[in-house]
Amino acid sequence: MPEKELKDFDIADVVPTRHPLKIDDTTLRDGEQTAGVVFANEEKIRIAKLLDTVGVDQIEVGIPAMGGDEKETIKKIAGMGLRASVLGWNRAVKEDIQHSIDCGVDAVAISIAVSEIHILTKLKKDRQWVLDSISKAVDFAKKHDLYVSVNAEDGSRAELDYLIEFGNNAKEAGADRLRFCDTIGVLDPFETFRVIKHLRQEVDIEIEMHTHNDFGMATANALAGVKAGATWVNTTVNGLGERAGNAALEEVVMALKYIGAVDLGYKTEMFRELSEYVAQASARNVPIWKAIVGTNVFAHESGIHADGVLKNPKTYEVFSPEEVGLARQLVVGKHSGSHSVAAKFREYGIELTPEQSQAILAEVRRTSVQLKRALFDKELMYIYKDYLERTEGKQL
């Protein structure tokens, strides 16, 4: 690839210095909208506190217009004196926004659909009605001194010229940013980059990425948007969210740091704790292979990998496990090599000779195939004991 082209994709060049990159986390809104997920009031409060401590810039707390517990909890969170901005989600109607105002939030998302299929078949309105509704709603919110994000729902399937008109209309009405929503997750990073770059050129407003994971590209698309000039990313812990979920907070932050060279300065060492808390509160287990926070992300078994990591962790790890609140594990099983076996026994204070390591390894592999899993410490000790009895007749 020519040098010029590579430079075009250098994230450090396109993140505008006048707008430092920010994160608006929606675990408490889109995350809770996941089919079957309900957070208890105390859990919403606890998650908001954790997100604030981790360092997110804005917390999308929920939908005040739902009233009841939702509204009461949002009011509590807005009154907690968090460092982060607190944002309530609204439809583009004054009544919804009034509920947000009642809660004392400092920011609102005002959402309306912008694709033909949504405007015609869901709203049963036309494009002009959408523009007018947004103008009125934004005007109302700005009169109440709120920070306003205008959400272009299903923006990825909207006609681009209309999306530009919608963005300019929102800007004229006084909106502070435009949330570009890939509501059903149909973009790929290349198309995302193209659309957001174009949008940035045609509309003078900050752009936020709201991406869904239906094709497994939520995080990639969020980053592509950032590369194209978006300055906000909407995330959820564990990627929780409707259907296949949203861009995961922990993935976006760590990818920005290690792939994009943008360090947001978050307390990333809390990511595993936050992930576990949200997993428990949402009753959605985090797979052990989940990027960034899965328990297996720093587990090494295969002989070549474990040997490399023992010599220098950087051979097979991009960053250290402590950075996200995890620990490195050397797993001994079918794919282990003799170096891992020797290292494992060293942890128990036993120094094996190379011959002993080889002999024990053979037994480890045989047992592991039989059990169809890696071995526990106790099982390794049994193998060692049997080996000594066999070879030296020595009783332990």
CA geometry: angle 273, 276, 282, nearest 5 deg: 140
Q: In this complex, which beta carbon is closest to Mn ion, that of residue 113 or of residue 332?
A: 113
Under 8 Å between Cβ of 351 and 327: no
Which residue stretches of the chain are H helix? 3-8, 11-14, 41-54, 68-78, 94-103, 116-117, 127-143, 160-173, 189-202, 218-227, 249-258, 271-282, 303-311, 338-347, 354-371, 377-392
Pick 30 or 60: Cβ nearer Mn ion: 30
Q: How far is the CB of 226 from Mn ion (least distance, A)?
A: 18
- Give me the least distance between CB of 80 and Mn ion, in Å please: 25
Helix/strand/coil for 177: strand
**Residue 154 binding Mn ion, by CB under 5 A:** no
Short-list 301, 313, 300, CA closest to 364: 301
Cβ closer to Mn ion: 30 or 251? Answer: 30
State the number of binding residues for Mn ion (CB under 5 A): 1
Contact segment (CB under 5 A) with Mn ion among 26-34, 191-199, 286-294, 374-382 equals: 26-34
Measured CA to CA, the distance from residue 174 to residue 163 in angstroms comes to: 17
Residue with smaller CB distance to Mn ion, 119 or 374: 119
Compute how many other C-beta atoms are within 10 angstroms of the C-beta atom of residue 376: 11
Piece of the chain touching Mn ion by CB under 5 A; list 27-35, 80-88, 157-165, 373-381: 27-35
Which stretch, 22-30, 129-137, 146-154, 270-278, contacts Mn ion (CB under 5 A)?
22-30
Q: Which is nearer to Mn ion, 186 or 381 (CB)?
A: 186
CB of 388 to Mn ion, least distance (A): 60
Compute the CA torsion angle 370, 375, 376, 378 (nearest 10 deg): 70
30 or 307, CB closer to Mn ion?
30
Q: Which is nearer to Mn ion, 30 or 96 (CB)?
A: 30
Cα 241 to Cα 247: distance, rounded to the nearest angstrom: 9
Question: CB under 5 A: which stretch of 29-37, 199-207, 278-286, 303-311 binds Mn ion?
Answer: 29-37
Is residue 153 helix, strand or coil?
strand
Report the nearest approach of Mn ion to the CB of residue 234 (Å).
Answer: 8
CB of 275 to Mn ion, least distance (A): 20
Can you give 33-92 as a three-state secondary structure string?
CCCCCCCCHHHHHHHHHHHHHHCCCEEEEECHHHCHHHHHHHHHHHCCCCCCEEEEEEEC
Closer residue to Mn ion in complex, CB, 24/30: 30
Per CB under 5 A, 30 contacts Mn ion: yes
Per-residue string for binding with Mn ion, 249-288, x by CB under 5 A? ----------------------------------------
Q: How far is the CB of 153 from Mn ion (least distance, A)?
A: 8
Report the run of H or E that residue 205 belongs to, with start and end.
none
Nearest Cα residue to 13 out of 227, 274, 165:
227
Residue nearest to Mn ion (CB): 30
Give least dist CB 316 to Mn ion, A: 35
Residue number, 153 or 176, with CB nearest to Mn ion: 153
Burial of 390 (0-12, 13-18, 19+ CB in 10 A): exposed
In the complex, the residues that contact Mn ion under the rule CB under 5 A are: 30
